Amino acid sequence: MKTLVVAGTGTGVGKTLISAILVKALKADYWKPIQSGDLENSDSHTVQKLVDDDTVIHPETYRLKNPLSPHRAAEMEGLEIDPAQIKIPHTSNHLIIELAGGLMVPLNKRTLNIDLLEKWQSPVVLVSQNYLGSINHTLLSVASLKKYNVPLAGIIFNGEENSSTENFILEYCSVRCLGKIRTLHTVTPGIVNGLAATLLPNLDKI
C-alpha cells in the first residue's frame, strides 16, 4: 500500500485540495498530523466533505487553536510539540498525509517538518503554484528533499497555468509531473472525483 506525503512549496498553494484528489483517486485514508487554527472547519473536515463518507480520516495528533506556524501555535497554548508522538496511523489501506505548511516549517525549537519526512521515508508529492518567486521556492523545496534523502514522487502544479515556469522546474529538477490542476472557482465532490480519475494513471507509477 502507498503512503504519500503532500507538501507545499508555500502557504495557500492548495495542499488540502490536492490531498482530497489523491484520497479519492487511491480510495485512501487521510491524516493531517498537526492542525493549526480553524478547528471547527479543519482540513480533515474539508477532505471528508469532498470525498466519500466512508473514507477513514485519522485524528490529528495535535489540534492547535491559532492559525500560525505549529511551533508558535503550540507555544501560545503552553505546549511543545513532541515529534515522537507523531506516529503514522496503522492502516491496511493507502494513506495520504498532509503536512502543516512547508518542508522547513518548525514544529518546535529543534525540529522541522522535514525531520519527520526523513524518518518516515515516504514519497513526497510536492504541490507548486505559479506566482512570482515560485521557481525559487520549488527548487529550494526539491533541494531540501534531496539533502535529507527524502524520496520525491513528483510535482503537482495547482492553479493558473505558466508553462514556461512549469517546464523549467521539471527539467531543471529532473522530476516527474504528476498532474496539473488548473484554477477552480468552485470545488465540489463531483469535480474532485473527475480530477482524481485524471491523476490515477500517474499515481500507479509511483
What is the set of active-site residues?
A: 32
Give the separation between CA 182 and CA 195, rounded to whole angstroms: 10
Closest Cα partner for 49 from 198, 188, 194, 199?
188
C-alpha cell at 80: 511543545
Cell 522547513 maps to which residue? 104
Look at phi and psi of residue 28 and say left if phi exceeds 0, alpha if psi is from -120 to 50, else beta.
Answer: beta
Closest Cα partner for 14 from 130, 122, 107?
130
Given a contact cutoff of 8 angstroms between Cβ atoms, the answer to whether 29 and 93 are in contact is: yes
DSSP 88: P
Strand locations in the chain (E): 3-8, 29-31, 34-36, 57-58, 62-64, 95-102, 124-128, 152-158, 177-181
